[in-house]
Amino acid sequence: MAQEAIGSPPFPSRLIEMLFGDRSQPWALGIQELGQELDGYRYEFRGEQEFKRIMDDSITEAMRVYWSEILLRAHLASSTSILRGLGWLKVIDSGLNSRNFLCVAAGLRGLLESAADVFTPLANASKTLATEHTRIAQALRGGMSSLFLAQELEDCLLHYSHATKPVKGKETPYVAKTAAEYLSDLKGEQQEEMRRLYSLLCSWCHPSAASVWAWLLPESESAFRLQVESNERVITHIAHEFKGLLPSIPMLALNPAIVTLAVLGRVGLKDLHTRRLDTWNLDAIKLWTECKALLDRDLEFGGHTK
């Protein structure tokens, strides 16, 4: 084990810039440092029956508990998506260093699926928490005496953390969508390019004609040479064919989580503050500028809600 650790290149290596651009190495290092700060965080949630008992005893206490747990669930979703995205980045980086295009393809596919999975729940979470931050703070202080729920956000966060494929004869409260359905949530000008890239990555990762012909170099229309070291050729093809799309994929996978953590740092519980983000300038992220405007809005009115 020790010998393997010594021989392994440090993460992130400069090769990651081949796919994600010349600013990706320091950005990936920052994500790794962020992940280290999140390590060891503990989550605990009350059961349904216990929450019903609290509701019967005190609406005010129930709202305090409810919003504390919504914030925890948003933190859990953000933290796990960051760690998962970091894991896929390490797979990609390892594949680039070992010149293993299958490793790169699997890592890219996983990162793209991760981006599609997390985009909706965390975009919703960050905007909802920023919009309702004043009332959330009131609930956390024990000052909310009427029901104040966010069912859509709650369901979205629970779907992220609990969705599974249905099993015959077993109830499945949160059913996982297909990869195509998750990818459809990534609306924008690059969606078709994402679908094209995803299809190509799947064809390499699964038994298919593409996963066979990747190892063959055509010499003519009827002659082909087996090429053991075809990895560099395939990786170069990915980097060139999708150069306009690739730099945005890590951002799609990780920025919603980063923004949600930044919003949590301004809303509610002290334990949810992520110190490392205090030194980061997030103004280039559209989702953050939208959330920041919502968080700052009430300050313009002397701290009072509308």
**Helix (H) and strand (E) counts for the chain?**
14, 2
pLDDT of residue 187: 64
- Average pLDDT value over all residues in the chain: 89
Span 12-40, pLDDT tens digits: 999 999 999 999 999 999 999 999 999 99
H/E stretch holding 225 reads strand 224-226
Listed range (75-79, 110-114, 209-213) with the worst mean pLDDT: 209-213
Mean pLDDT of 280-305: 80
- Percent of the chain having pLDDT more than 90? 64
Rounded CA-CA distance 37/41 in Å is 9
**What is the 3-state secondary structure of 132-163?**
CHHHHHHHHCCCCCCCCCCHHHHHHHHHHHHC
Rounded CA-CA distance 124/116 in Å is 14
pTM for the complete prediction?
Answer: 0.89
Mean pLDDT of 117-146: 94
DSSP label at residue 275: G
pLDDT of residue 6: 52
241: region left, alpha or beta (phi > 0 left; psi from -120 to 50 alpha): alpha
pLDDT of residue 232: 83
Rounded CA-CA distance 151/157 in Å is 10
* Burial label, 168 (beta-carbon count in 10 A; 0-12, 13-18, 19+): exposed
Give residue 86's identity as a one-letter amino acid code: L
Q: What are the structure tokens assigned to 262, written together?
A: 């930044």
